[in-house]
Structure 1
Amino acid sequence: MEGAFGPVLYISWVILLLLLLSSCSVHSRTIVKSLPGFDGPLPFKLETGYVGIGENDDIQIFYYFVESERNPKQDPLIIWIPGGPGCSSFRAFFYENGPLQFDYMKSRGGKPVVQLSPYSWSKISSVLYLDTPVGSGFSYAKTSNGTKTSDTLSSQHVYDLVRKWLNDHTEFMSNQVYIGGLSYSGILIPIITQEIFNGNEVGNKPQINIKGYLIGNPLTDRIIDFNSRIPYAYRSVKQHCSGDYMNSGNVLCARDLARVDECLEDIYEHHILEPSCESSENAASSPLLLHQSSDPWCRDDNYVFSVIWANNEDVQRALGIREGTINDWEQCNTDHYLFGKNDTDTYSYNIASSIIYHMNLTNKNCRALIYSGDHDMVFPHIGTERWIDSLNLAVESTWQPWFVEHQVAGYESIYSHKDYSLTFTTIKGAGHTAPEYKPKECLAMVERWFSQNSLRWL
């Protein structure tokens, strides 16, 4: 009996094993019906999962997918790329444009209370939030070599992921696709967008219905964007530094820059009007104290809730997190980029400027939305305006206000070249992550931009 049926049984077991490995390493997903801290079932469709990419699917990228609450068959699909690099999309999901947020006043001890966000972008679009690059959030690698990545490699991984994800979600194959994100993703998003256009042109499958990209307060060119901090904050140093504030060897310039550093060291660069302070010592043990303490409020205090919530075993179980794949969850890993920082052990900052990718995209049938919170000193809007000017696009309209509820929400300019269009806008009163500071205005902005070029009329 063993001799007659052994090979058949062996082959059957091999097939079964391959199927199990395939379902685990290539793509697995969980439909999340409820979450700890939220009262009742979720009133929107939330899917989480992993997509395996790289050699032997060694890299496992975690995602949150929120289906449009309006018309998922017709509404755009946004692929959301977090900043950092090395930050989780969790921050966008809970603090910027996602469907949920923390109720700070009702949260007690180690049990954050979760509530709906009235300004979720899922009201007008489906959003695929990615924990990328590998090592961000709940993403992980099976091998030590899989943890090593770069700007170009991470961009390629996202392209591969989107193709795999769409193959597994064919109902969204015809939806308009936009690549979106904030901050450091300004380096990656133009690369990813170009990869998709190029892949379509050489016949890669599936053909992705790419329409454009949208980036907030982006890092685009290291020299331009970091140089823009000085004239944004302190214009008089122009006299001695000749516009180069990062590399100047001029003694007088160095003296002036030291004075600038002294003036700005206590300014919160993510929003220059908010307090510069450190998170409360009691934040982790009792988040309720954040809003009862006599100490100055810090925005960083709000982020304590994410660490407590995401490290909760019940939360990870609900999200379908694979047991043992991560240790302590962190909002951002140590790859987070600073000017002049050398490559880390796991990440190579090998693209200093993404301007050339923007220029390449001006020859595509492509739309771009670039928006800047005008109180951001991380990547001030004046630097963004400078690199946009370097694209030499035709000006369709320049510096006109747009409105939300009869109030000026920002100022926009519209540019074009053949089938390419770019809308640049400021968000009045917003900081570095504009949707976090001005969620109502940013929802109106993206809804209008999806339906037309100008933000002004609606």
Structure 2
Amino acid sequence: MSRRRRILACVEFAGAGAPLLLVVLLCLCVPPPGCAAPAGAEVAEFPGFQGELPSKHYAGYITVGHEQRKRHLYYYFAVSERNPSLDPVVIWINGGPACSGFSAFLHSIGPLKMEDSKQLHINEDPQVTVNPYSWTKMASLLLVDSPAGVGYSYSDNEDDYVTNDTSRVVDLYDFLTKWFTEYTEFLSNPFYVAGCSYSGVLVPVLSQEILERNEESSGMKINFKGYSLCNPAVDVDIENNAHVPYAFRMGLISDELFQNLVTTCNGKYWNNSTPTCRGNMEQFYMQIKGINMEHILCPPCRYKMGITKEFVEYDSGQMFESLSKTSTHGLECHEQELALEKLFDTKLGREKLHAKKAEISGAWKRCPRHIQYTRDILTLTEYHLNITAKGYRVFLYSGDHSLLVPFSATMEWLKKLNYKEIEKWHPWFVENQIAGYSIGYENNILFATIKGAGHVPSDYLPFEAFVAYQRWIDGAGSL
């Protein structure tokens, strides 16, 4: 970052009422991006990784709430490997609805990734390697363990582990303003909010909160440019009603059952009290009970895994608690949870990542059981309309083999926005191969499928998902 740009950013941050001499001295001392971090925040080593980190990494805590109810949110910040002075800052809000940000960091979008191991549960320590398709190739990536109680985050008050969407967004905005206070050199960079799955409930609400606060006459102004979501939760009715027609179009249920469902349910498959509809829906659940909801072509490892026959709305990851080492579904089904805990729930891992001791923050769990989370924002249409009406950029992308939140649900919901299609359904390409299909809408909305991918596209087809995201965040209006 140039000295002139740093000074302008510091002056804007300090405000008009700050003494001029103090502002100038402060700004002249601000080092380039990646250097002006809180003392002791830089991460020198990452658990399980050998060698030099691909860029500067930082970690620590931001305390939110008030004096009587403090919540300590853990963050991990990986600076862009390309141009930290100019590249966007992207905050990733993890789904779950209450799971650690390290889920995405090591399994899809972060600069490091887990190496495969089939004997981890016996005697091997997990190993971590460089991810060639990391978002840090194009942006600085900020992860946060939210809500308090997830991952390394914790609260001083046990009552805070009962929470909801609205409370979480308040904490996330509080987190951001305090984080930018400590990393002021990134305040002028373009800022994006991103997430997947359940984060579809949080990302647009947090985005609107940022815009509303930016419009106030005083206070911090975040350089918000837009947001992105993959296979997002957007509307409870639309998401859950999409399962039946999607399963039919993908050949998972018979023509006869589908026609019976259409006749008896009258388009409302979810939460329908009609006896004949409920009977046919029971048959529907029986026919798909062995299907991996996150990717219909893959073994049922991440969804159900023989632990429960219940049809749940979202995969919170809690079923891993019930898996035994003798699971008939194979080691690959529970290796992920064991590997993450071996990396993060150790004394050495906590020291390397600047996390509090287990006695303070509790055991590290990706999706802990003790969080009692309620979805209190059931539809997001109003938030999307408010933001897109002002021209901010939006990228919605879906793995087309996810039954959990089908791409067809996102398309159905997009129709309700009543925005004109600028580009009709068409293929997009990576290295001369069709990588998916895309639609462009007015008001800077781009929708795309990732062909062959599941619920979190980067987990299944990292190269194609990386290319799509880079094209979009670098300013492309289409893929």
Matched, 1:31 2:42: yes
Q: CA deviation at 1:206?
A: 1.5
C-alpha contact 2:405 2:455 (8 A) present in aligned 1: yes
Match of 2:193 in 1: 179
> Are residues 98 and 299 of structure 1, via their aligned partners in 2, closer, same or farther at CA, if it must alter by over 3 Å?
farther
Matched, 1:89 2:89: no
Question: Which one of 234, 239, 242 corresponds to residue 263 of structure 2?
Answer: 239
C-alpha contact 1:29 1:50 (8 A) present in aligned 2: no
C-alpha contact 1:371 1:425 (8 A) present in aligned 2: yes
C-alpha contact 2:47 2:344 (8 A) present in aligned 1: no
Matches within 5 A, 1:44-443: 44-56=55-67, 58-105=70-117, 109-234=123-248, 235-236=258-259, 237-277=261-301, 278=305, 298-323=332-357, 324-334=359-369, 346-416=372-442, 420-443=443-466
C-alpha contact 1:402 1:408 (8 A) present in aligned 2: yes
Q: Which runs of 5+ in 1 are unaligned?
A: 1-26, 336-343
SS of the residue corresponding to residue 167 of structure 2 reads: helix
Q: CA deviation at 1:33?
A: 1.1
Identity between Structure 1 and Structure 2 (%): 36
Moved more, 140-149 or 92-101: 140-149
1:346-380 Cα offsets, whole Å, 9 max, x none, are 43321111111111112223010011110001110
> Are residues 226 and 411 of structure 1, via their aligned partners in 2, closer, same or farther at CA, if it must alter by over 3 Å?
same
Q: Which runs of 5+ in 2 are unaligned?
A: 1-37, 249-257, 308-319
1:396-439 Cα offsets, whole Å, 9 max, x none, are 102111111111111111111xxx31101111111111111111
C-alpha contact 1:107 1:113 (8 A) present in aligned 2: no
Q: Distance in 2 between matches of 1:132 and 1:311?
A: 17
RMSD over equivalenced CA pairs, Å: 2.4
Q: One-letter code of the match for 2:177?
A: R
1:174-208 Cα offsets, whole Å, 9 max, x none, are 10000000111100111000001111111342111
Tell me the TM-score normalised to structure 2 length.
Answer: 0.81
SS of the residue corresponding to residue 271 of structure 1 reads: coil
C-alpha contact 2:444 2:477 (8 A) present in aligned 1: no
Q: CA deviation at 1:156?
A: 1.5
| Matched positions, count | 411
Question: Which one of 442, 448, 470 corresponds to residue 447 of structure 1?
Answer: 470
Tell me the TM-score normalised to structure 1 length.
Answer: 0.85
Q: One-letter code of the match for 2:168?
A: S
C-alpha contact 1:28 1:51 (8 A) present in aligned 2: no
> Are residues 28 and 363 of structure 1, via their aligned partners in 2, closer, same or farther at CA, if it must alter by over 3 Å?
farther
Q: Distance in 1 between matches of 2:40 and 2:163?
A: 24
